[in-house]
Every structure is written in C-alpha cells, then in structure tokens.
Amino acid sequence: EAAVTQSPRNKVAVTGGKVTLSCNQTNNHNNMYWYRQDTGHGLRLIHYSYGAGSTEKGDIPDGYKASRPSQENFSLILELATPSQTSVYFCASGDTGSSAETLYFGSGTRLTVL
Amino acid sequence: QQQVRQSPQSLTVWEGETAILNCSYEDSTFDYFPWYWQFPRESPALLIAIRPVSNKKEDGRFTIFFNKREKKLSLHITDSQPGDSATYFCAASAGTGGYKVVFGSGTRLLVSP
C-alpha cells in the first residue's frame, strides 16, 4: 500500500508568517494532490501535480503555492498566512494512467493561524 | 461552485437498517465516481467506485446506483453496522484535465446499536 507522509502533524502560525507543509510518498506515484478539509465543505482541491517540476491549480489556489521538486516530494506554501487558512490539510498521491486512480492520503496536518 | 453535491449532511440509522447516501454532479465529462470513507481522526480511504458504463456496482453490503441521465448516484449500505459510522465522500474525476479529483462535502453517518 502507498505510503504518504506529511509533516508537521500540527502547526501553529502567526498571521502574515510563511508556512510550508511537506509531503513525501514512497510508491513512485506520478500524481500528487493537496486538499484542505473544513466542516461543511468536505475536501477542496488546492493544487496538484503530474510529476516532478509540474504544479497545477485546483479549485481554491488563491493564497497558496505548491512545489514538486522531485517525484517523492510535494510541498504546499503559504507565503502570508491568514486565519482563514486555519484548516486540516491532506496530501494524497495516485497512480497515473486513467481517471480511475485511487488516492492514498497522508495523515493530515492541522494548521492553526492566529 | 460545488461540482459534486451530497445529501443529507448527516444521517442516523439503526443497526440493521439500510442507509442511503445521495450524490449529484454537474460536469458531464466526469467518468469515474469513487466513494471514500473517513473515520474520526483518520484519513479518507477508498471504499467503492463506479464508471458510468455501469448503473450498479456492488461490494458486499455496499452498492452504488448510478443514473447517468439525471447525473445522480447513491450509495446504499445494507444491514448497517455501528462500525460503518463514518463520513462518506462522493468524488468525481475526468480523464481530461489531468485526473483532477473533486469531492463533495460529505455525509456523516451514525449507526446506532
């Protein structure tokens, strides 16, 4: 089974500060995703990537940047964190080849912006 | 706008009853519909999925019914068990646009013993 590891598990940041959330996967999946989960909204797609060097905007990319420096690593960057970005963030990876890929999720990062 | 809609937001059934979770979508290019479940303090995980070429997919007590014309689907959980208590997400993806996977807002199911 795919292993997706997120760090940190919990993060408290101050408004205006820079936050970097990291994700590492060890099963050589091409596709990686960042979602945020908020009550009443489910999982909303922020950014995704097809492979090293690629990043694509999801449905709610404003205020977020992404970086995919290698097949294994996909980071989410909040340059100027705001309280509205307080949420639980999930990274996921998936096999390439068709739309019928299974997503494997990390354990999540709980971010609080004060 | 929400591309995938789910109802109800929450649902309580008694053990042994059938739980019915509903989902609808707007984009006709969606060609794969997975359902994920998420237990408290855990990550979402794939439960069952269907392609529009079928109108029904069964896996044990879990069945997806799909209506392509109305762009609706539903997840039926028969003989519900307390261990089925979780949040269920309907999702959709399309082969075009890079396999973007979008999720609904979820249905929180509670099965009472």
We report the CATH number of the domain holding residue B27 as: 2.60.40.10
- Please tell me the distance from the alpha carbon of residue A72 to that of residue A101, in angstroms, as a whole number: 18
Domain extent for B75: 4-112
Note whether A40 contacts B: Cβ–Cβ < 8 A.
yes
Amino acid type, A55: T
Measured between CA atoms, how close is A103 to chain B, in angstroms? Answer: 7
Domain count, chain B: 1
How confident is the model at residue A97, as a pLDDT?
Answer: 52
Strand A19-25 to A10-13 pairing = unpaired
Residue entry with tokens 């420096």: A69
Q: With a cut of 70, which residues of chain B have pLDDT below it?
A: 1-2, 95-99
Nearest residue in B to A95, CA atom:
B99
- Range of weakest confidence among A3-12, A40-49, A56-65, A70-79: A40-49
Question: Nearest by CB to A40, which of B45, B95, B105?
Answer: B105
Mean pLDDT value across residues A30-56 = 91
| Helical segments of chain A, H only | none
Mean pLDDT of A82-105: 85
Checking if the pLDDT of A69 tops 80, the result is yes
Least confident of A79-83, A93-97, B18-22: A93-97
Residue B93 is predicted with a pLDDT of 86
Q: Which residue has the tokens 């109305």?
A: B70
DSSP state of A53: T
Cis before A61? omega within 30? no
